[in-house]
Amino acid sequence: MTDEKTLAACGVTIDNNTLPFPVLNVVNSAGNAKISLYGGHVLSFAPAGERPVLWMSSKSVFEVGKPIRGGVPVCWPWFGPAAQDGLPGHGFARISMWNLTGVRKLAGDAVQVVLSLDESACDAAFCNIKFRLELLVTVGRVLELELRAFNTGTAVETYQAALHTYFSVSEAEKISIHGLDNVPYTDKAPEFAGERRVQFGDLDIDREIDRVFCPSSGSVAVSDPEFRRTIRVEKCGSHSTVVWNPWINKSRAMADFGDNEYHRMLCVECANVFDDVREVAPGGMTVMTQKISVEKWD
């Protein structure tokens, strides 16, 4: 772990008391964030002087062995239900304890935190591959996450991944999502049962939305008239985008999600899923980057 002097020089402190696992508090003149070592999970982020950008459920369970509902979970090496019974949904990275391997200052007073994970820190019942993950989290006016997956084994491996970002919005019914016009998607909402469709125009939230857009490599913007801001999600190394809001019935069915919290959140996820899965040769790597910025309205 990085020494205390380096942490202090970068404006990073470690909270070992609030939750059952260590949380990094990153504060600088440009922005602030909280990052959990459990799950390699960004819990919160805001540019300096601005309202929170990420959403966290009031019902989230902060317990080792269970996923955190909100912030930015790291889904890896699979997305959604596992192919085998008994394996955790969205992979094991988000329920494993990561290591802090580096902290450094960047231009503009931003700070970069580097976390890592390999098979030695994972539950052997879930993990039968050799790998190393690195998550680079840069905190400033912009939040940037770079997920690097290295194949350290002797066989070709197939990885799926998503930075499952939960955004805080004023009211889901009043926002508009731009950047997906004319993009095909798979609709995973129950009434559509995996149908392939094409998005026309901006996407509005007026029902359960669970869509995987692919191919989708451009930026996505979330315009919020009440908060008078636009959240912009830019990415690299990803050709699939997931948009999710559970709406009424699914919210009520999830124990770690408040019955009416769907009004205040939206997931826009940088992903490598469906037709965008990555095959990585022994000794190879794949990289996915997501950059989140906020544009205030005059």
Q: CA nearest 72: which of 9, 129, 27, 139? A: 139
Question: Which tens digits make up the pLDDT trace of 214-253?
Answer: 999 999 999 999 999 999 999 999 999 999 999 999 999 9
Rounded distance between C-alpha atoms, residue 109 and residue 157, angstroms: 38
User: Which pLDDT value is given to residue 24?
Assistant: 98
Coil, strand or helix at 81: coil
Q: Show the domains of the chain with their CATH numbers.
A: 4-296 (2.70.98.10)
What's the mean pLDDT in 183-192? 93
Other C-beta atoms closer than 10 Å to the C-beta of 66 total 15
Q: Which residues belong to the active site?
A: 164, 269
Coil, strand or helix at 263: helix
Q: Tell me the pLDDT band of 4, cut-offs 50, 70 and 90.
A: confident
Its pTM stands at 0.97
Q: What is the mean pLDDT of the chain?
A: 96
Rounded distance between C-alpha atoms, residue 241 and residue 59, angstroms: 26
Question: Which tens digits make up the pLDDT trace of 46-64?
Answer: 999 999 999 999 999 999 9
Question: Which tens digits make up the pLDDT trace of 103-114?
Answer: 999 988 999 999
Pairing of strands 166-168, 184-187: unpaired
Tokens of 248: 């009424």
Coil, strand or helix at 216: coil
Coil, strand or helix at 120: helix
Q: CA nearest 77: which of 94, 101, 99? A: 94
Beta bridge partners, 187, equal 195, 211
Tokens of 88: 């955790």
> Do residues 100 and 7 lie in contact, with contact meaning Cβ atoms separated by under 8 Å?
no
**At 45, which helix (H) or strand (E)?**
strand 41-47
How far CA 9 is from CA of 26, 68, 103, 104, in Å, comes to 11, 29, 10, 9
Task: Find the farthest-apart pair of alpha carbons in the chain and give their distance in angstroms, rounded.
Answer: 55
Q: CA nearest 136: which of 159, 156, 106? A: 106
Rounded distance between C-alpha atoms, residue 184 and residue 227, angstroms: 29
What's the mean pLDDT in 95-121? 96
What's the mean pLDDT in 72-95? 95
Tokens of 48: 């300096």
> Do residues 268 and 212 lie in contact, with contact meaning Cβ atoms separated by under 8 Å?
no
Other C-beta atoms closer than 10 Å to the C-beta of 85 total 6
pLDDT at 1 over 60: no
Rounded distance between C-alpha atoms, residue 262 and residue 9, angstroms: 39
Where does residue 259 rank: exposed (0-12), middle (13-18), buried (19+ CB within 10 A)?
Answer: exposed
